[in-house]
Amino acid sequence: MKFLNLILRSLFRSKRRTILTVLSLAVSVFMVALLQSLLGTLDSLSVSEASGSRFVVQDKASFTNVIPESYGNYLRQQPEIETVCAFQWFGGEYKDPKNFFANFAVDPEAYPSVYREECQLSTIPPEQIRDFIRDGNGCIVGQALADKFGWKRGDVVPLRSPIFNMSLRLNIRVIYHGKRKSDEMALAFHLKQLQEGVSWMKGRVGSFSVRARRPEDIPRLCERIDHNFANSTQETLSLTENAFNLNMMKMLGDYSSMVHSITAAVMVAILIITANTMAMAIRERTTQISVMRAIGFTASQVLSLLMAEGLLLSLLGAALGLLMALGAASLASMVVGDILPWMADFFITPDTMLLCLLMTLALGLLSTFVPAYRASRRPITAGLRAL
- Please tell me the predicted confidence (pLDDT) of residue 38: 77
- Residue 43: the pLDDT is 65
What per-residue confidence (pLDDT) applies to 105?
95
d(CA 224, CA 218): 10
Cβ(108)–Cβ(132) under 8 Å?
yes
Q: What is the pLDDT, as a whole number, of residue 309? A: 80
Helix, strand or coil for residue 210? strand
The pLDDT of residue 192: 94
- Distance between CA atoms of residues 361 and 346, nearest Å: 25
pLDDT, residue 227, reads 94
What is the spatial distance between Cα 86 and Cα 84, in angstroms, rounded to a whole number?
7
CA distances from 161 to 53, 137, 205, 240, 277 (A): 31, 16, 16, 28, 58
CA 301 to chain centre: 45
| DSSP category for residue 93 | B
CB 372 within 8 A of CB 310: yes
Q: What is the pLDDT of residues 322-365, one digit of tens each?
A: 999 888 888 877 766 555 655 666 778 888 888 888 888 888 78
* Residue of 251, 317, 240 whose CA lies nearest to 28: 317
d(CA 57, CA 155): 33
Predicted pLDDT of residue 19: 84
Q: Are 101 and 181 in contact (CB under 8 A)?
A: no
State the CB neighbour count (10 A cutoff) for residue 223: 11
3 state SS of 168: strand
- What was the pLDDT predicted at 37? 81
pLDDT for the residue 195:
93
List, in order, residues 6 or more apart from 113 with CB less than 8 Å away.
Answer: 82, 83, 85, 121, 211
Q: How far apart are CA 35 and CA 259, in angstroms?
A: 6
Please measure the distance between the N-terminal and C-terminal CA atoms of the chain and give it in whole angstroms: 30
Q: What is the pTM of this model?
A: 0.67
Q: State the amino acid at position 363 in one-letter form.
A: L
DSSP summary character for residue 344:
G
pLDDT of residue 263: 78
Q: For 29-115, list the strands marked E by DSSP.
A: 54-59, 67-68, 81-89, 102-106
> Bridge partners of 165?
none
Residues of the chain with pLDDT under 50: none
CA 279, CA 368: separation in Å to the nearest integer? 7
Q: Give the separation between CA 290 and CA 386, rounded to whole angstroms.
A: 10
Q: How far apart are CA 26 and CA 100, in angstroms?
A: 34
